[in-house]
């Protein structure tokens, strides 16, 4: 087994790991980034297929954190485009605002359904006055805030499509974060009595986006890490060795070789449960049991290339209904015209799934054909316009926030906190629903924590000369 030495070892080359590496290398620290995939960026990467480019899902960059916003703008400079957000929910053969605007949802369903929604909302508001128990699951949270009819019309099917489990098993924290600030009562009041007043809270009306795809953020971060060979792709972590609650080294499978990287500080952005499971010696049984109960949701991307200049005028379209196999579609050329040749476009459909599900196991050609057929049935494309299609499978795309997940996370975090030289960052690394800006922020934060420490002096912490790095 080849043995490589490095001062700081970073597990995972997504935005969090790269942001940490970027900060540390600019402070003069020697490091090694280990990425299991063939390209950096994690979920926020851009795929090139012939003359077409598309992201692994629809990603936008917007941050309320001024520091992060200015950093990304400075990093990309003139590569950034300003894109107006135009997102819709396609439900019952009509469009609704996204994020769901309660007034729009209420009055666009017809008189009978509108009455049911309003009555359900009134009942929910009255029930809140006597509620003494916390809202644990997504179903209870939505019913308490919007009423049962609106839950059954929209929230139930879309949430279960995304997460693959009943709403009573989905933790309330997730939906609370996604629709915070929205109120049906406030919407009605504003519409009736404040026609010229301020708008209800919603997502930003515009965002910035790199001309050649969201993956340019990761590319720029990687290019700022020196030397270039300090970022190693196709390097899957197989073991994390420790002694006396200090991590000593990590073993990786790199091509046909097994390699070991030693260091004095380690940053992990790989899935939280995976870190625990890779520890050697093993973690206690109760910690391993908690790790085994944390799960991720996987993702299958189907990109369909079209011989037409545009299929929609929207940035995202959400499909809650279960008979439609994909949950979201976006058209990259509505974000940047540079992502397809002139006169052509591409539609990207996201199938939320778990490994072993039909979407994950179906042959690529069959999945492309089924996606094309569905898009044609919905009226977005014509079959004769299709030039090509490609399928990509993304394991562990999203942490799955099941009821009780926080207790399991706390068990893992409490144990890992005993390792003073092991630091966690990123969406998967911390098992949190982080957007891109929060992932970058977490990478900066952990790097700054390390920089504030006294220099290490262990022999194994001294890096090898750059020319010997792989």
Handedness of CA 195, 198, 201, 203 (dihedral sign): positive
Q: Is 9 exposed, middle or buried (0-12, 13-18, 19+ CB in 10 A)?
A: buried
**What is the per-residue DSSP string for 29-41?**
--EEEE-SSSSSB
For position 392, what pLDDT does the model report? Answer: 96
Q: Give the residue from 6, 4, 12 showing the smallest Cα distance to 446.
A: 12
Is 190 a residue whose pLDDT tops 90?
Answer: no
Q: Give the residue from 417, 441, 445 showing the smallest Cα distance to 275.
A: 417
Q: For 367-392, write each residue's pLDDT tens digit.
A: 999 999 999 999 999 999 999 999 99
Q: What is the CATH number of domain 60-99+203-213+296-399?
A: 3.90.660.20
Count of CB atoms within 10 A of residue 382's CB?
A: 14
Q: For 407-426, write each residue's pLDDT tens digit.
A: 999 999 999 999 999 999 99
Instruction: Write down the domain spans for the chain.
Output: 2-44+215-294+402-468, 60-99+203-213+296-399, 100-193
For position 88, what pLDDT does the model report? Answer: 86
CATH number, domain 2-44+215-294+402-468, options 3.50.50.60, 3.40.630.30, 3.30.70.980, 3.30.230.10 = 3.50.50.60
Give CA separation, 96 vs 47, 89, 318, 325, 396, in Å. Answer: 30, 5, 9, 19, 30
| Average pLDDT, integer, range 93-115 | 68
- Alpha-helical (H) ranges within 134-263 are 138-146, 148-150, 156-163, 172-178, 184-193, 215-223
Question: Is-cis flag, bond preceding 281, omega within 30?
Answer: yes
| Average pLDDT, integer, range 427-450 | 94
Percent above pLDDT 90 for the chain = 65
Rounded to whole angstroms, the Cα distance separating 347 from 381 reads: 9
For position 124, what pLDDT does the model report? Answer: 83
Is 461 a residue whose pLDDT tops 50?
Answer: no
Is 244 a residue whose pLDDT tops 70?
Answer: yes
| Average pLDDT, integer, range 52-58 | 91
Tell how many helices (H) and how many strands (E) occur in the chain. Answer: 17, 21
């Amino acid at each position: 087994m080849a043995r490589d030495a490095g001062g700081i070892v970073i597990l995972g080359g997504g935005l969090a790991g790269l942001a940490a590496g970027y900060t540390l290398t600019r402070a003069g620290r020697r490091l090694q980034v280990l990425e299991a995939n063939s390209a950096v960026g994690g979920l926020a990467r851009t795929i090139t297929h012939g003359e077409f480019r598309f992201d692994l899902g629809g990603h936008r960059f917007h941050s309320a954190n001024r520091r992060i916003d200015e950093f990304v703008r400075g990093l990309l400079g003139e590569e950034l485009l300003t894109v107006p957000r135009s997102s819709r929910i396609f439900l019952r053969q009509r469009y609704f605002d996204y994020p769901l605007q309660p007034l729009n949802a209420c009055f666009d369903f017809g008189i009978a359904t509108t009455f049911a929604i309003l009555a359900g909302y009134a009942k929910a508001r009255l029930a809140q006055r006597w509620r003494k128990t916390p809202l644990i699951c997504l179903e209870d949270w939505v019913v308490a805030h919007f009423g049962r009819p609106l839950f059954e019309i929209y929230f139930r099917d879309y949430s279960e499509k995304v997460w693959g489990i009943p709403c009573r098993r989905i933790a309330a924290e997730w939906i609370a974060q996604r629709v915070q600030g929205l109120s049906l009562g406030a919407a009605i009041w504003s519409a009736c009595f404040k026609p010229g007043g301020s708008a209800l809270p919603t997502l930003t009306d515009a965002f910035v986006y790199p001309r050649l795809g969201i993956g340019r953020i990761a590319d720029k971060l990687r290019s700022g890490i020196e030397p270039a060979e300090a970022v190693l792709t196709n390097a899957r972590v197989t073991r994390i060795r420790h002694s006396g609650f200090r991590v000593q080294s990590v073993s990786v499978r790199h091509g046909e070789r097994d390699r070991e990287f030693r260091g004095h500080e380690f940053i992990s952005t790989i899935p939280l449960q995976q870190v625990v499971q890779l520890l050697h010696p093993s973690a206690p049984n109760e910690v391993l049991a908690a790790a085994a109960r944390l799960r991720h949701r996987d993702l299958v991307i189907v990109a369909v290339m079209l011989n037409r200049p545009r299929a929609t005028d929207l940035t995202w379209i959400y499909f809650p209904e279960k008979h439609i196999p994909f949950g979201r579609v976006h058209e990259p050329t509505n974000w940047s015209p540079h992502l397809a040749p002139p006169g052509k476009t591409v539609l990207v459909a996201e199938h939320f799934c778990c490994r072993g599900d039909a979407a994950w196991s179906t042959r690529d050609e069959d999945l492309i054909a089924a996606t094309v057929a569905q898009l044609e049935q919905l009226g977005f494309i014509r079959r004769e316009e299709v030039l090509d299609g490609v399928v990509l499978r993304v394991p562990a795309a999203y942490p799955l926030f099941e009821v009780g997940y926080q207790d399991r996370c706390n068990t893992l975090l409490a144990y890992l906190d005993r390792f003073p030289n092991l630091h966690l960052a990123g969406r998967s690394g911390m098992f949190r629903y982080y957007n891109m800006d929060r992932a970058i922020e977490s990478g900066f934060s952990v790097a700054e924590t390390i920089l504030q420490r006294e220099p290490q002096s262990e022999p194994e912490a001294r890096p090898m000369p750059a020319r010997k790095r792989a």
